[in-house]
Structures are given as C-alpha cells and as structure tokens.
C-alpha cells in the first residue's frame, strides 16, 4: 500500500508514467538498503510484525512504513473551501516544473474521493477519470490519490566521538510529486535538524491557526548514553525509539496539505547539506528566550478572557484539555503493561534455564527429555513476550504519547487564535483612543494637528479591519484544522488498535503452535 | 466472608500426584471450604471399610488439624521407614486480604467502574488462592488414604471421623516445642548423613540424586513463582487499560468513541483469559514443583532416618565391643545391637520400596500435570485467537 498521502498538489500530467514509477519503487540502492527499500514501500499492512528475528531494522521498517502510510493520505478531508484552492494555485505557480493547466487544477479536487473509504467522508466531486493504477494497489481505506509521498527514516549512524558525537539519520523520500527534483532521494539529517524544521514551520504557520505537529522530545540522558558509547540494549532501544519518532513526525508534517507546500519542508527533504540549527539547543540563548516566552504565554492565557461569540471554541478547548488528561492516564497504564511484559520476558528466560537444569538432573530419561523440551518452549515464549512488548510499546504506547503531545499542539492552536483576537482588541482600543484624541482636537479647535489625527485614524481603521479579517481567517482555519485532526485521530487510533490486536493475535497463534508441539512430548513421558 | 465451592465450569483440580482416589474402599475429597477468621475445610469421606462407623460422612477441619495429623504420623516410630506425605502449607490469603483492605479504604474515592474492577480482581485472586489451598490439603489426605499403612492409622481415622473439635487432641505448647527441637536435630542430621559411609549401591545413588534434585527443584519453584506473578501483573494491566479506555471513550462521541469502547471490551476479555492462563500455570506447574520440593524433602527425611538408624547400629556395635572388652552388660549390648540392626534392616527394606514407588509417582505426576497444563494453555490461546479475530473483524468492518 503505497498509498501516498492524499496530496492535492499540482497534478501529474501523465498517468502512464506514474504506473511505471510505481513499479520501480526502490530506494536509492545504496549500502545495504536494498531489502529495506522493497520493504518500506510494499503493501504490508495485513502482515503482522515479522516474528522470526529480533525486530531488526527491515522489519520495523515495513511496519512503520506500511501503517503510517495510510495516516498520510488524508487529502483535504472534505474541507474544500476557497482557501484551499487558493493555496494550491499559489503553490502550483511557485513550484512545479511541469505544466499546470486549469484542467490540472480541477483534478486537484478530484482525487480525494476514495471509493471504498468508509471512515472518512469524501466531500469532493468524484472524477471518474481519476481512477488510476494506484487505486488497485492501495488498500481499501486509502484514498485513491494520484500522488505519492512516502517518507522513511532509517540507518541511524553515530558520527564523531565523545560529547560532540551525534546520531545521523537517513531520511528517504519516494514521491511522484512534481515539485520535487527527483522521484526518490535521500539525505542525512541529525536530530537538531528536525527541531530546526519545527521551529521554522512553527514561526511561519502557527499564527495562522494551523496545528503544528510537535517534534520528538529531547532527551539529555538518552543521548548522553549514546554519545558516551554505551553499546547496550537500552541505548539501542533509545535510538530505535527516536528513529521511529522522527519518522512519524515527518510523516505527520507532510500529511498536512499546507505544510507540505512550505519550502522549508521541501528543503529539509531534498537539500544535501542543511545549515546547523543552533537555536534548538536547550541551554542556548535562544533556548532561554523560548522558555521565557512560553512562560509569558502562560500568564497571558490566564488573564485573557475571550468574549466568545461562538461556543464551539470554548467547549472544544475543554474537550481537548480533558482528552489530554485521559490519554495521559491511558498512556501510563500502557506503559505499565510494557514494563510488566518485559519483566515476564526475563522471568520466563530465567525459568527456562532452571527447568533445563532440572531436566538434566532428572533420572527418568523420558521425563528428562520432556523437561528440556519444556525449557525450549519457555525459551520461545520469552521471544514471543519480547516481541509483544515491542508491539505494546511501538504500536500503542508511542501512539498515545504522540497524541498527548498533539493535543498540546491543538491547545496551542487555540491559544494562537486568542493572541490574534487580543491583537484585534488592542487595535480596536487604540483606534478608539485615536478617535477620542481627534474629538478632543476638534473641541479644542486645533486644526493643524487634526490632519495628523485623521491620518492616525485611517491607519488604525485599516489595521482594525485587517486584524478582523485575520481573526476571521484564523477562526476558520482553526475550526477546519480541528475537524481534520479529529478525523485523523479517529482513523489513526483505529488503525493502530487493529494493528495492535493483530500483533496480539499473532503472538497467540504462535503460542498455540508452541504448546501443540510440546504436547506429544509431555504425553511421551513414561 | 465467602464460601467458595468448586465452580462447575472449572476443571476439577485434582491432585498434583497420581489419581489417588482409585481405590473405592476409602475415598476422600474436600468439596467445600469456608473462610472466616480461619479457613474451615469440609472433609468428606466415602468408605466401604468396616472400621468406620458410617459409609459416608463429612467433618469440618482447620489447617492446624492437618498439621497435627502430619506431626503425629511423623513421630510414630512405626512409620520411620516410609515417606511421610508432606504437610500442606498454611493458607496464605495475605494478597487478597490486602486488596480487600485497599478496596474498603478507597471505596469512596473510586468511580463505580474502578470499584467494580478492583472487586473483580480481588475475587479472582481469592478464588485462585482457594483452589490452591484446597488442592494441597486434599492431596495430603489422599496420599494417606491410598497408602496401605497410613490408611489404617488410628489418628487418621479420628481425623476423618471425629465429629467434634479436634483442638483438645492437638499439640499443646510443650509438644510443639518438642517438635521444634526435633526439627533442629534433623538439620544436624543432614550433615551427619552426608558424611556416613553408604554400603548399599541403591541408597548411595538415591542420596546423590535426591540431594542434587532437591536444590534444582527448589530453584525451579522459585523461578516459576516469579514468572506466574508476572503473568498476573500483565493481566492486571489489561484490566487497568480497559478501564482507562472506557474513561476516555465516555468523554467522547463519534467514531473515535466506538473504537475505544471496542478496544476496551477486547482488553477486558483478554484480561480474563490471561488471568486463567496465570492461575492454571500456577496450579499445574508452580504447584507441581512446590509439591515435589516438599515431597523430595520427605524422601530425604526417610534417608536421614535410615542413616540415623545406621549410625545407631554402628554405635551399638562399638558399644558391644566395649562391653565385651569390659566384660560387663554384654547381653544388654548384644540385645541393643540386634535391635538396631533389625531397625536398620526394616528401614532399608521399606525405604527401598518407598523410594522406588516415589520415583514412579513423581514421573506420573509430572506427566499428568504437564499434559493438563499444556492442554489448558492451548485452550486459552485458542480462545484468545478467536476473541481477537472476531474483534479485528468488527473493527475493520466499521
């Protein structure tokens, strides 16, 4: 299911070309990526996590790749307003190298229709001609988009030594979007690059009321262990956790139709060398500044009481805050499960060894054999528990952690709207003051200053109307964003829940097999 | 508190040892148990033996009564050459009791659902402990009833039949101290035993085997206990996750809510299965190991008694030599020596028989329990599979 994301960007001129592209979906075949390349982009959703080996990169990959992909589809979620169209026309003009015709533009609206998608209501005009080869290859839930954009983050490599060391990740993109220079390409990025991207996006778009996906969290402890060179399982786990989080982050960013158009995003994906993002360090000057700003924001939040004409916002914000709390609790419960399962895993391993010892001492040969078989079964169970713990974490726990942070981002969005409103209020009160000043001047009969006053009033009148428009726009955007977010959330959760249940199912299947294999051994005791 | 009788749907959890009730002349079981301050077991006997007054009767017994019976048998000289069935351990309701306490305290601060869930957990744990303790007491009695010598024991008969409180016949403080002392002496014997030179090949082998096996099985028991506890923790977590999912769903509407609710349902059902997996594993595997750890100890005790008899015999030989030298009390010393030899021979003979049948019994018990455990594991896993498959289908079709 190479379901691309539901892009409504500039159309691809030629369907046939695209089909050919889809067949050659292989990443740049560098290093040892060949197998992984195949895995990333194949439809692997029905396949449970490959059990045989400890979760290695390739496997994780196919999982991550496959399920996130459908995440990335969402198109415009039926929010077809003029704004959207405008956005895309602009984008079209700026970016593409291929010809964009008005014909092309109409097609933008088309592809969001997904004939078989039941969870997500397509409001679009269905253009039958849009049915492409991609539809057949996509899973039912994916929208039949013409455009693909698949992103994967792989190959963490440690660069450098000691405290200046860092992990470098390979960011691979495979796309049919014409706004990119190539169809498949990859670059190497480090964690601070991702943070830098977030900063840039946030600076540009958050004031417009978009929900900006939050980046993965920094972790001084985790990174220090890696830097210091501890080659143990916990630092490997940390790197894997971060890699997966970075991947999800990017996928969410490009899933957002407006953000994808941002040149910074494109640069991040494409450009070979990025200037170092120094403002992202926690203990830097800008870092402190950010902390201060955040604090003042918090204070503002407490003092502003918006005059809400629309209850929707107030109740929605309340909902969001509640949900954040509930998800936090749910996350804690899942976290506990992950830990206990890991405990179960190690206890099973220890028990297995103990049973093996017992078997070796046992004088009855049939019982002795059965006991060593039992030890082997328990050993297999240990592996199953290990993999299940992995699923518990990566499918469920990380999903919840992501959404707790995303809900925080949604809250920020609401706060931004409040800021815009505040700006409007201030402008309105300034205008009021200017008018009063003019009135005073009139009354005091000072004609020389009157012109100045009139100019001031005009200036502020236009500011007020500008801010009013801004506020309207932000209100509209926030509303749309929230609806989009909620749809995404429902779909995301459903997908992950199903995936998780499938992982449990897989484990139970294997359990049945293990025990069924043991049963004749037990019966053979004499 | 609660009276828990065996559920109709739960498998009759019979002995960890062989089916000991295959002799219809004396059939014992514990159909019921009450737990108030103390646990009261209902011991039910069906017999065709004439030595009993009734063919079918029941008496209530406490755990201490079982211990009394065990100790009187241990102290009976006659049975020195037999493996004495190990005493059942004291019922341990610490876990459920703690939970009950927490439940009572937190009742006001919990939501109705949380309370109901905790109550469920508590009941499950209670039931598990109950099953265990009933089983282990039952097996003790059944071992006695199926042994040709023990079943005829007068005290055993009293235990089964005497329809009043046994407390008066139980150890008084002095006797208890006596028992304590005996245990202390026994540990000294262990050192003695390892040192005694063994002439008999059979016993030499047995001694080595039992010593080695004993430490390994103790270890396996401890590890099994930890593993079972982890299983229970996982089941508990499923419970909490289910609750948290329901809480999150309650606050919502839309498709999101439905997905969460469905997921909560699945976790709830999975919890039940995991609980059963954990408790079945405990019953069949951990209890099996625990029981045989104790049984191995009982076998070792037999060896010690025999070794002590051997030491006594050797001492009596020395005494006889000394008496012969001195020319005094020779007859007495000879008599002593003869008795010691007799005792030693008797212990050796019955000991050999007992240890051989012990081997057979152990192998059969392991076989039975491993098979039963495996079958249960398969059953539970298949249940999980169908449960999960069904849920996935429903979620996908939505």
User: pTM of the predicted model, to two decimals?
Assistant: 0.75
Distance CA B67, CA A253 (A): 71
Angle among Cα A233, A239, A240 to the nearest 5 degrees reads 85
Rounded to a whole number of angstroms, the distance from the CA of A197 to the nearest CA of chain B is 31
Q: Which domain holds residue A444?
A: 289-301+319-525
**Residue of chain A whose alpha carbon sits nearest to that of B233:** A340
Q: Average the pLDDT over A82-103 and give the result.
A: 36
Q: Looking at the predicted structure, is the pLDDT value of residue A19 above 50?
A: no
**Token pair of A40, please?**
């990333």
Q: Which of B227, B40, B37, B52 is nearest to B156 (CA)?
A: B52
Is A215 a member of any domain?
yes
pLDDT band, very low/low/confident/very high, at A507 (cuts 50, 70, 90): very high
Q: Do A349 and A458 have their domain in common?
A: yes
Distance CA B4, CA B91 (A): 14
**Residue of chain A whose alpha carbon sits nearest to that of B262:** A497
Angle among Cα B21, B25, B29 to the nearest 5 degrees reads 40
Angle among Cα B340, B342, B345 to the nearest 5 degrees reads 110
Other CB atoms within a 10 A radius of the CB of residue A133 amount to 17
Note whether B201 and B233 are within 8 A (CB).
Answer: no
**Contacts A319 to B, Cβ<8 Å:** 251-252
Distance CA B237, CA A150 (A): 36
* Interface touch B371/A519, C-beta < 8 Å: yes
Rg of chain B over Cα atoms, rounded to whole angstroms, equals: 27
First CA to last CA distance, chain B: 45
Q: Average the pLDDT over A98-113 and give the result.
A: 35
User: CB under 8 Å to B254, separation ≥6 — which residues?
Assistant: A486, A490
User: CB under 8 Å to B130, separation ≥6 — which residues?
Assistant: B4, B33, B35
Q: Tell me, what's the pLDDT at A182? A: 85
| Packing angle, helices B201-250 and B112-146, rounded to 10 | 160
Is B194 a member of any domain?
no
Q: Which domain holds residue B278?
A: 201-397
User: CB under 8 Å to B65, separation ≥6 — which residues?
Assistant: B159, B166, B170
- Reported ipTM: the value is 0.85
Is A400 a member of any domain?
yes
Q: Which of B78, B41, B75 is nearest to B176 (CA)?
A: B75
Q: Looking at the predicted structure, is the pLDDT value of residue A383 above 90?
A: yes
Q: Do A249 and A296 have their domain in common?
A: no
Average pLDDT of chain A is 73
Q: Do B140 and B237 have their domain in common?
A: no
Residue with tokens 């402008």: A427
* Interface touch B363/A486, C-beta < 8 Å: no
- Residues B288-343 pLDDT 10s: 999 999 999 999 989 888 888 888 888 888 888 888 888 888 888 888 889 889 99
Q: Do A178 and A260 have their domain in common?
A: yes
Note whether A143 and A3 are within 8 A (CB).
Answer: yes
Sheet holding A184-190, edge to edge: A149-159, A166-175, A184-190
Rounded to a whole number of angstroms, the distance from the CA of B350 to the nearest CA of chain A is 21
Q: Do B205 and B174 have their domain in common?
A: no
- Residues B333-387 pLDDT 10s: 888 889 889 999 998 999 999 999 999 999 999 999 999 999 999 999 999 999 9
Looking at residue B397, what DSSP letter applies?
A: H
Is A58 a member of any domain?
no
How many domains is chain A partitioned into structurally? 2
Q: Average the pLDDT over A481-499 and give the result.
A: 91
Q: Which CATH number is B289's domain given?
A: 1.20.1270.60
How many domains is chain B partitioned into structurally? 2
Q: Do B171 and B41 have their domain in common?
A: yes
Residue where a domain terminates, one of B180, B215, B232: B180
- Please report the sign of the dihedral spanned by the C-alpha atoms of residue B71, residue B73, residue B77, residue B83: negative
Other CB atoms within a 10 A radius of the CB of residue B87 amount to 20
Distance CA A348, CA A344 (A): 6
Out of B226, B377, B388, the one facing A347 most closely (by C-beta) is B226
Distance CA B333, CA A200 (A): 104
Is B133 a member of any domain?
yes
B3-5/A184-190 β-pairing: unpaired
Does A342 touch chain B if contact means CB atoms closer than 8 Å?
no
* Interface touch B392/A322, C-beta < 8 Å: no
* Interface touch A329/B244, C-beta < 8 Å: yes
Rounded to a whole number of angstroms, the distance from the CA of B295 to the nearest CA of chain A is 15
Of the listed ranges A348-357, A475-484, B1-10, B17-26, the least confidently predicted one is: B1-10
Q: Do A297 and A262 have their domain in common?
A: no
* Burial classification of residue A18, based on how many CB atoms lie within 10 Å of its CB (0-12 exposed, 13-18 middle, 19 or more buried): middle
Q: Looking at the predicted structure, is the pLDDT value of residue A67 above 50?
A: no
Residue where a domain terminates, one of B146, B180, B214: B180
Q: Which of A78, A65, A54, A160 is nearest to A383 (CA)?
A: A54
Distance CA A491, CA A500 (A): 14
Mutate to test the interface with B, among A355, A406, A490, A508 (most CBs of B within 10 A): A508
Rounded to a whole number of angstroms, the distance from the CA of B274 to the nearest CA of chain A is 11
Q: Which CATH number is A489's domain given?
A: 1.20.1270.60
Looking at residue B27, what DSSP letter applies?
A: E
CA B138 vs. chain centroid, Å, equals: 9
Note whether A479 and A24 are within 8 A (CB).
Answer: no
Does A218 touch chain B if contact means CB atoms closer than 8 Å?
no
Q: Which CATH number is A194's domain given?
A: 3.30.1520.10
């Amino acid at each position: 299911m190479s379901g691309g994301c539901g892009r409504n960007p500039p159309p691809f001129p030629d369907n046939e070309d695209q089909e050919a592209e889809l067949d050659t979906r292989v990443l740049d075949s560098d290093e040892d990526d060949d197998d992984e390349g195949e895995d990333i982009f194949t439809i692997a959703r029905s396949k449970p996590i490959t059990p045989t080996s400890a979760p290695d990169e390739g496997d994780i990959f196919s999982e991550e790749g496959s399920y996130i992909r459908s995440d990335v589809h969402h198109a415009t979620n039926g929010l077809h307003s003029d704004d959207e169209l405008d956005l895309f026309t602009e984008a079209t003009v700026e970016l593409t190298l291929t010809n964009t015709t008005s014909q092309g533009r109409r097609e933008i609206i088309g592809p969001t229709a997904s004939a078989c998608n039941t969870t997500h209501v397509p409001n679009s005009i269905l253009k039958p001609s849009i049915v492409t080869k991609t539809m057949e290859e996509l899973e039912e839930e994916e929208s039949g988009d013409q455009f693909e954009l698949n992103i994967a983050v792989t190959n963490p490599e440690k660069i450098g030594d000691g405290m200046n060391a860092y992990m470098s990740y390979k960011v691979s993109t495979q796309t049919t979007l014409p706004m990119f220079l190539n169809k498949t390409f990859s670059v190497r990025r480090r964690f601070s690059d991702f943070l830098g991207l977030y900063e840039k996006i946030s600076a540009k778009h958050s004031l417009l009321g978009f929900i900006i996906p939050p980046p993965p969290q920094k972790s001084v402890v985790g990174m220090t262990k890696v830097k210091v060179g501890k080659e143990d399982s916990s630092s490997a786990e940390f790197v894997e956790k971060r890699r997966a989080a970075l991947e999800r982050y990017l996928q969410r960013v490009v899933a957002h139709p407006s953000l994808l158009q941002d040149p910074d995003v494109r640069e991040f994906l494409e450009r070979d060398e990025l200037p170092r993002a120094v403002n992202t360090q926690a203990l830097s000057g800008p870092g402190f500044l950010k902390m201060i700003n955040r604090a003042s924001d918090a204070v503002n939040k407490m003092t502003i009481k918006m005059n809400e004409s629309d209850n929707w916002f107030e109740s929605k914000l309340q909902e969001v805050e509640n949900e954040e709390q509930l998800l936090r609790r749910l996350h804690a419960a899942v976290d506990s499960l992950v830990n206990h399962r890991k405990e179960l895993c190690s206890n099973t391993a220890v028990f297995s060894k103990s049973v093996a010892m017992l078997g070796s001492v046992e004088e009855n040969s049939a019982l002795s054999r059965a006991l060593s078989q039992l030890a082997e079964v328990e050993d297999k169970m240990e592996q199953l528990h290990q993999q299940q713990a992995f699923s518990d974490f990566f499918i469920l726990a990380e999903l919840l952690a992501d959404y707790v942070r995303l809900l925080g981002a949604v809250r920020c969005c609401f706060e931004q709207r409040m800021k815009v409103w505040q700006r409007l209020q201030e402008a309105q009160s300034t205008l009021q003051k200017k008018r009063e000043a003019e009135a005073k001047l009139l009354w005091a009969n000072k004609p020389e200053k009157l012109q100045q006053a009139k100019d001031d009033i005009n200036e502020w009148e236009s500011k007020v109307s500008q801010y009013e428009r801004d506020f309207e726009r932000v209100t509209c955007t926030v509303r749309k964003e929230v609806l989009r977010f909620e749809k995404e959330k429902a779909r995301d959760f459903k997908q992950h829940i199903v995936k998780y249940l499938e992982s449990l199912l897989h484990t139970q299947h294997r359990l049945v097999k293990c025990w069924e294999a043991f049963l004749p051994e037990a019966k053979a005791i004499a | 508190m609660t009276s828990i009788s065996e559920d109709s749907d739960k498998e009759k959890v019979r002995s960890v040892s062989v089916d000991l009730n295959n002799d219809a002349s004396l059939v014992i079981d514990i159909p019921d148990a009450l737990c108030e301050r103390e646990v009261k077991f209902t011991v039910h006997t069906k017999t065709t033996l004439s030595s009993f007054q009734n063919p079918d009767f029941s008496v209530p017994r406490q755990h201490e009564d079982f211990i009394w019976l065990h100790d009187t048998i241990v102290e009976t000289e006659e049975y020195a050459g037999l493996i004495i069935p190990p005493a059942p351990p004291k019922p341990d309701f610490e876990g459920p009791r703690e939970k009950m306490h927490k439940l009572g305290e937190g009742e006001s601060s919990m939501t109705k659902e949380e309370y109901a869930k905790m109550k469920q957990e508590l009941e499950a744990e209670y039931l598990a402990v109950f099953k265990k303790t009933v089983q282990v007491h039952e097996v003790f009695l059944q071992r006695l009833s199926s042994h040709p010598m023990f079943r005829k024991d007068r005290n055993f008969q009293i235990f089964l039949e005497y329809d009043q409180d046994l407390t008066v016949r139980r150890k008084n403080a002095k006797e208890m101290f006596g028992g304590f002392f005996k245990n202390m002496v026994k540990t000294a014997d262990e050192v003695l035993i390892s040192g005694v030179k063994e002439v008999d090949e059979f016993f030499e082998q047995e001694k080595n085997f039992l010593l080695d096996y004993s430490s390994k099985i103790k270890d396996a028991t401890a590890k099994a206990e930890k593993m079972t506890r982890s299983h229970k923790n996982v089941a508990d977590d499923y419970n909490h996750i289910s609750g948290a999912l329901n809480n999150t769903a309650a606050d919502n509407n839309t498709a999101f809510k439905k997905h969460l609710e469905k997921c909560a349902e699945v976790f709830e059902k999975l919890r039940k299965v995991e609980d059963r997996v954990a408790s079945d594993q405990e019953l069949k595997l951990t209890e099996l190991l625990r029981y045989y750890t104790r049984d191995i100890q009982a076998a070792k005790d037999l060896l010690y008694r025999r070794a002590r008899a051997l030491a006594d015999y050797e001492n009596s030989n020395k005494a006889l030599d000394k008496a012969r030298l001195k020319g005094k009390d020779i007859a007495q010393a000879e008599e002593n020596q003869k008795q010691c030899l007799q005792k030693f021979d008797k212990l050796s003979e019955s000991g050999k028989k007992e240890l051989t049948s012990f081997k057979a019994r152990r192998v059969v018990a392991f076989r039975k329990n491993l098979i039963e455990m495996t079958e249960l594991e398969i059953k539970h896993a298949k249940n999980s599979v169908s449960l999960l498959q069904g849920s996935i289908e429903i979620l996908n079709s939505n």
